[in-house]
Amino acid sequence: MDKTQGLKVTRRSILKTIPALSAISAGSSFFTKAVCAQEPLEDGYTICDNCNQMPMCGIHFQRQGNVVVSVGNWKEHSGKLLCNKALATLQRLYNPNRLLYPMKRTNPKGSADPGFVRISWQEALATIAANMKKIRDQYGAEKLFIFCGDPKEPRPAAMRLARYFGTYHYGTESSVACRKGSLLAEQLVFGCEYAGGGCGPKTKSFMVMATNGAWSKPHGWWNMISAAKQRGVNIIVIDARRTKVAELATIHLQPKQGTDAALGAGICRVLFEEGLYNKPFCDKWVYGVEEYRNYCKDFTPEKTEAITGVPADLIVKAARMYAEGPGSFALTSQSLSHSRNGVNSARALLNIPAILGYVDIPGGALFGVGPKGYIVHDNGLTEDFVDYNWFKAHKKDRLDKDFVPVWNHTQVQFNPNQLPEHVKNGKLRGMVAFGFNVMIWPQPQVYAEAIKNMDFSCATDYFYRDETHHDMDIILPAAMNYERYAPFGTHAGNKVSVRTPVKPMGEAKEDWWIALQLGCLVDDPKHFFDGDPVKACDSILKEWGTTYADAQKNLPNMTQVQGAKQQPLKYEKGLLRHDGQPGFDTPSGKIELSSNITKMHNLGTIPIYVEPYQPTAEYPIKLINGTRAPYITHSKTRSDSPYLLEIEPMSTVDINPEDAKARGINEGDKVLIKNQYGQARARARVSIIVPPGTCGMQYGWRGDQNTQVLIPREWDKLSGYAPYFETTVQITKEA
């Protein structure tokens, strides 16, 4: 197989191929248009995976025989409105470049042509299992790294495979650079996942912390905040960019990139000094108030303005307005944590609603609830299914304990950002991956080299991706969301949604089936439900009072399952701590402005401000690498969905009109973005969405448009995340 990206296809050419391609999945005879026309239309249901917030939206599709012929809104589903990414999944399903058969590499690693050839599933699974057992027998099970990337759907099965194979080195794209940095901040402050929420009928003020939900969650979130605006809710947006959400703001605080910890301290100073904070709540439920208050004293509005660029009067006005609550908030999933001081930046902003007492109250953000044992942030479905306690018990044995001790202390997922070092030192010798992509890392070529140097590696995917798969030993074809049973979706209000899949194209198999089959070969098949994904799902659903078959019978309705009911003030009722005592699941039992966990690891106590990288004469523009667009998700749709590529066919860079004018750059010009680490090409999008001195790009484009080469392998000491939102660049016009 050569290094090209495959056939050049368009939306129209793919639509023409659907009847022919459906023949592959039929197995015995070729469908023709005439035959398809004779088949009755049947309804089907599945969940979209083309975002990265799984499970989110439901898809109602129609099929003729085994051919999906249309997709639309699943009106009975809680995520009932589809965006263009969801609509594009039909085109992805019948893309002629799909990986449809197991493949093995036949040429030596490093060869220009890896020589991938088709093999049987029996050979593929046997080869993978043999190499897994070889590593376990010769070096120890912990020398195998099991990884789940995108989509997130295989996580529970992959984590279970890691558990019963015996490796605690299980990681995901979230432990590389996604939501878990913000989650870590939430855990340090509140003791559990708490990213805020939306606006209820009693909400009077809403603080949006560096998230653009109008684009990342284009339907539900936009409807929520638009309705809040119409009700008169005061919306305070903290964001370096002038986003769609910022356009709705009553007050838009636009800090310089990487200065949010200073802004948080400045706002808290106003609340403390003017007596606007909730002193009775803080006295009873908040730890470290005086320590943080003393730190904030130095952040006068004037000093905070000098650091952040936010006018002093706006800082004061925003603090007073937010204190008029009851207030809610929404913390970013990613952006704040993608810098060298990212976790502390998120902690500093979380301290604002904390000292106001806007915690689990009517009109504020409520802590989430769900069915028995449900884990939202790890997508492990339930603690029992993945044996959560086993992973907790082995945290001290993981390779990341010295690299990121606070992460190691709090997270069951391994942080693999030092993968190249671990491979070089023989600490990791093999990898089994689901949806793996080296382009999630800074300097991805370093990680590709590490994969090449492993004893064995394999991955599942929808497509062959040369920059990732070139030197892997085996590539497996993954079934898509229309073709798989697992997992079911778990949604707010203790509801689940199940699927009615069509037969997979070619010999594609769902990731859960692959993980469970491998488990049967390397361990007791009873631990893996004899390789059956539906039985695996039923092991969870029966605990919640239903089965997969019963939920299918209930379609198109979602199925109500047993689970905790939502209620405010859970911390007063012992509903947040594992020991059932009132309070928060932190070492002090309180909200922690000063963290006992970071103190334990000699990494400070309070979320201090650390100066970010500063622009230089050579590289004068701050880069935000990883901005969102409503019609594309990072790298996953860059070459797989021609429909979406017609909207945006190549990488773009948002550049402020002042910076563009100074460089002679006009809208649509080809430009070069460069710094000391690498360079990338894009088309200029001249826009006030970014302030002067800042540019914004989406990561995930391949070849010379890959922005990840601009990011250094430097790390936040708490999360181990790279500074994707902090580096500096120069932009020049190309001829």
Reduce the DSSP state of residue 559 to 3 states and report it: strand
Tokens of 273: 């000094």
Contact, 200 vs 217, CB < 8 A? no
Tokens for 278? 């909730």
Identical fold between 11-93 and 195-366+593-597: no
Q: Just give the CATH number of 11-93.
A: 2.20.25.90
Q: Three-state secondary structure along 560-618?
A: ECCCCCCCCCHHHCCCCCCCCCCCCCCCCCCEECCCHHHHHCCCCCCCCCCCCCCCCCC
405, pLDDT greater than 90: yes
Q: Where residue 12 falls among pLDDT bands split at 50, 70, 90?
A: very low
Rounded Cα distance between 696 and 655, Å, is 7
For the domain spanning 103-164+382-495+505-538, the CATH number is 3.40.50.740
What's the confidence (pLDDT) of residue 39? 85
Report the helix count and the strand count for the chain, using DSSP H and E.
Answer: 28, 27
Q: What is the 3-state secondary structure (H, E, C) of 369-409?
A: CCCCCEECCCCCEEHHHHCHHHHHHCHHHCCCCCCCHHHHH
Mean pLDDT, rounded, for 39-49: 94
**CA–CA dist 275, 270 (Å, integer):** 8
Which pTM was predicted? 0.93
Pick the CATH number of 621-733 from 2.40.50.430, 2.60.40.420, 2.40.40.20, 3.40.50.11540: 2.40.40.20
Question: What is the number of residues in the chain?
Answer: 735
- In the chain, what is the straight-line distance between the N-terminal and C-terminal CA atoms, in Å? 34
The predicted structure's pLDDT at residue 163: 98
- Comparison of pLDDT for 307 and 38, the residue scoring more: 307
The region of weakest confidence among 12-16, 39-43, 707-711 is 12-16
Of 284, 249, 292, the C-alpha closest to 268 is 292
Torsions phi, psi for 703 (to 5 deg): 65, -135
pLDDT at 375 (0 to 100): 87
Query: Average pLDDT, whole number, for the chain?
Result: 93
- Write down the pLDDT at residue 36: 54
What pLDDT is attached to residue 418? 99
Q: Residue 76: is it exposed, middle or buried by C-beta count within 10 angstroms (0-12/13-18/19+)? A: middle
Residue 287: count of CB within 10 angstroms of its CB? 19
Range 43-68 average pLDDT: 90
Tell me if 695 sits within 8 A of 729, measured CB to CB: yes
pLDDT tens figures, 411-429? 999 999 999 999 999 999 9
Q: How confident is the model at residue 217 (pLDDT cuts 50, 70, 90)?
A: confident
Question: Is pLDDT above 60 for 11?
Answer: no
Q: Residue 636, SS3?
A: coil
Q: For domain 195-366+593-597, give its CATH number from 3.40.228.10, 3.60.21.10, 3.40.50.2300, 1.10.340.30.
A: 3.40.228.10
What are the distances in angstroms from CA 106 to CA 29, 117, 118, 476? 32, 7, 10, 15
Which one is predicted more confidently, 536 or 196? Answer: 536
**Cα distance between residue 696 and residue 673, in whole Å:** 11
- Which of 37-51, 55-69, 541-555 is the most confident on average? 541-555
How do residues 109-145 score in pLDDT, each as one tens digit?
999 999 999 999 999 999 999 999 999 999 999 999 9
Mean of the pLDDT values across residues 681-702? 95
SS3 for 93-152 is HCCCCECCCCEECCCCCCCCCCCCEECCHHHHHHHHHHHHHHHHHHHCHHHEEEEECCCC
Closest CA to 677 of 596, 612, 619: 619
Convert 518-555 into a string of H (helix), E (strand) and C (coil): HHHHHCCHHHHHHHCHHHHHHHHHHHHCCCHHHHHHCC
Average pLDDT of the segment spanning 35-57: 82
Please give the Cα distance from 66 to 500 (Å, whole number).
Answer: 11
Q: Say how far apart CA 278 and CA 280 lie, in whole Å.
A: 6
Span 16-37, average pLDDT: 40
Residues 196 and 371 sit within 8 Å (Cβ to Cβ): no
What local confidence, expressed as pLDDT, does residue 14 receive? 41
**pLDDT for position 37:** 58
pLDDT digits (tens, 9 = 90+) for 220-244: 788 899 999 999 999 999 999 999 9
The answer to which of 140-149, 171-180, 608-617, 710-719 has the lowest mean pLDDT is 171-180
Which whole number is the average pLDDT over 87-103? 95
What is the pLDDT averaged over residues 581-585?
A: 98
Residue ranges per domain, the chain? Answer: 11-93, 103-164+382-495+505-538, 195-366+593-597, 621-733
Q: Which of 189-198, 281-290, 507-516 has the lowest mean pLDDT?
A: 189-198
Reported confidence tier of residue 19, pLDDT bands at 50, 70, 90: very low
pLDDT in tens, 619-655: 999 999 988 888 887 777 777 888 888 888 999 999 9
Does the pLDDT value for residue 700 go beyond 90?
A: no
**Mean pLDDT within 437-464:** 97
Burial group, residue 693, by CB count within 10 angstroms (0-12, 13-18, 19+): middle
Please give the pLDDT value at position 446: 98
pLDDT band at 689; cut points 50, 70, 90 = very high
Pick 304 or 216 by higher pLDDT. Answer: 304
- Report helix, strand and coil shares of the chain as percent, to nearest 5: 35, 15, 45
- The band of 54, judged by pLDDT with boundaries at 50, 70 and 90, is low
Q: Give CA–CA dist 177/704, Å, rounded.
A: 22
Instruction: Decide which of 20 and 371 is more confident.
Output: 371
Longest CA span, the chain? 77
Rg value, the chain, Cα? 25
Task: Please give the full DSSP string across 14-60, using - where no structure is assigned.
Answer: HHHHHHHHHHHHHSSS---HHHHHHSPEEEEEEE--SSSSSS--EEE
Residue 490 has pLDDT above 70, yes or no: yes
Taking the CA atoms of 373, 375, 376 and 380 in sequence, report the sign of the dihedral they define: negative
Mean pLDDT computed over 597-609: 98
Candidate from 15-29, 142-156, 357-371 with smallest mean pLDDT: 15-29
CB atoms within 10 A of CB 126: 13
Given a cut of 60, whether residue 29 has pLDDT beyond it is no
pLDDT at 10: 43
pLDDT surpassing 90 at residue 6: no
Give the distance, in angstroms, between the CA of residue 558 and the centroid of all CA atoms in the same chain. Answer: 25
Report DSSP letters for 274-336, one per residue. TT-S-HHHHHHHEESHHHHHHHHTT--HHHHHHHH---HHHHHHHHHHHTTS-EEEEE-SSGG
Contact present, 249 and 287 (Cβ < 8 Å): no
Looking at the chain, the whole-number percentage of residues with pLDDT higher than 70 is 94
Q: Residue 260 pLDDT > 50, yes or no? A: yes
